[in-house]
Amino acid sequence: MIPAAFQYVKANSVAEALVLLQQHGEDAKLVAGGHSLLPAMKLRLSQPTVLIDIAAANDLKGIAVNGNTLSIGAGETYHAIASSAAVKRTCAIVADCVGQIGDIQVRNAGTIGGALAHADPAADLTAVFLALGGSVSVASASGTRQIAADDMFVAMLTTALDSGEIITTVHVPVIGAGQGASYAKLKHPASRYAIVGVAAMVSMSGGKITSARVAVTGAGPQAVRQTATEQALIGTDGGDAASKAAASKAGDDMDYLGDIHASEEYRRAMVKVYAARAISAAVAQARG
């Protein structure tokens, strides 16, 4: 499988990339690791005439903790994130999630910004980002803006990003006392893509769950929150019975994908199984 012909250019900064995006318009695509874009190009599902390589843009790098927020440069690789002491200390679910992506070659090149911008239906980080209630900083020729996780994923391979915009930073909350977050997935044995992946975050006080966010990836065309499951958790003690009851509601109002790896029916069943696992692990963390 060979992609359609394209021009390759390199941008060493966000400013350079924005100029190139303006110059080439909707015919251009950004690329860093390329692990989602390049396969789509080989299948002719995406046919940009220009690829703008932003992997060397240093202003897309950096990991910092500012108060209750962990900020990760969009160009940081999965390996760098999984290895970061700051990420492990403040939001371990992110380090755990990226440590499960692909193999070492993929983790050395794939980037957090690329994963969120491409919104592959089998991506892991999309569910984690939704469950954490994060946000992204976005730059364009006209300025900057923030996009909340709940507004980010619109449809399969489609996000709220406008043409000419670049994700510069990914922001997620620091997991504090009384909180827990976990990601559980049924992975494809070769690619390690999520056939079903579920991320859960809970906050507890006085032995009860006061807030919850649960999101699913891999099972449908895009990552989606499970509001019925979240509502069923709030006010409970998060024990096995409560977690299983809430997990039984997961996936009920979703659209499903079926393929050679798993049918719609199998994915529907596995969403509930992996929701229970993710919720139980998040509650155990919150309890300390």
pLDDT tens digits along 148-196? 999 999 999 999 999 899 999 999 999 999 999 999 999 999 999 999 9
- Domain membership of residue 154 as a residue range: 58-173
Question: Within its chain, how far is the Cα of 177 from the centroid?
Answer: 24
Query: Would 74 be classed as within a structural domain?
Result: yes
- What is the pairing mode between strands 143-148 and 69-73? unpaired
Return d(Cα 145, Cα 75) in angstroms, integer: 18
Mean pLDDT, all residues of the chain: 96
Query: Would 1 be classed as within a structural domain?
Result: no
Tell which residue, 149, 189, 142, has the closest CA to residue 164: 142
Query: Would 68 be classed as within a structural domain?
Result: yes
What residues pair up with 145 in beta bridges, in sequence order? Answer: 138
Query: Would 221 be classed as within a structural domain?
Result: yes
Query: Would 38 be classed as within a structural domain?
Result: yes
Under a CB-based contact definition with an 8 Å cutoff, are residues 50 and 9 in contact?
yes
Domain count along the chain: 3
Residues 156 and 70 in one domain: yes
Residues 121 and 68 in one domain: yes
On the question of pLDDT at 78 being above 80, the answer is: yes
What residues pair up with 199 in beta bridges, in sequence order? Answer: 183, 215
Instruction: Supply the CATH number for residue 33's domain.
Output: 3.30.43.10
Return d(Cα 130, Cα 133) in angstroms, integer: 5
Residues 240 and 223 in one domain: yes
Q: How many CB atoms lie within 10 A of CB 248?
A: 15
Residues 150 and 205 in one domain: no
Q: What is the pLDDT of residue 1?
A: 73
Query: Would 185 be classed as within a structural domain?
Result: yes
Q: What is the pTM of this model?
A: 0.96
Sorted by sequence, the CB contacts under 8 Å of residue 31 that are 6+ apart come out as 37, 38, 51, 52, 53, 54, 55, 114
Query: Would 2 be classed as within a structural domain?
Result: no
Residues 202 and 273 in one domain: yes
On the question of pLDDT at 2 being above 90, the answer is: no
Instruction: Supply the CATH number for residue 84's domain.
Output: 3.30.465.10
Query: Would 118 be classed as within a structural domain?
Result: yes
3-state secondary structure of 154: strand
Sorted by sequence, the CB contacts under 8 Å of residue 180 that are 6+ apart come out as 201, 202, 204, 281, 282, 283, 284, 285, 286, 287
Residues 200 and 223 in one domain: yes
Residues 142 and 113 in one domain: yes
Q: What is the pLDDT of residue 139?
A: 98
pLDDT band at 38 (very low <50, low <70, confident <90, very high): confident
Residues 205 and 272 in one domain: yes
Residue ending a domain, among 173, 207, 233, is: 173
Instruction: Supply the CATH number for residue 221's domain.
Output: 3.30.390.50
On the question of pLDDT at 37 being above 90, the answer is: no
pLDDT tens digits along 238-251? 999 999 999 999 99
Residues 218 and 270 in one domain: yes
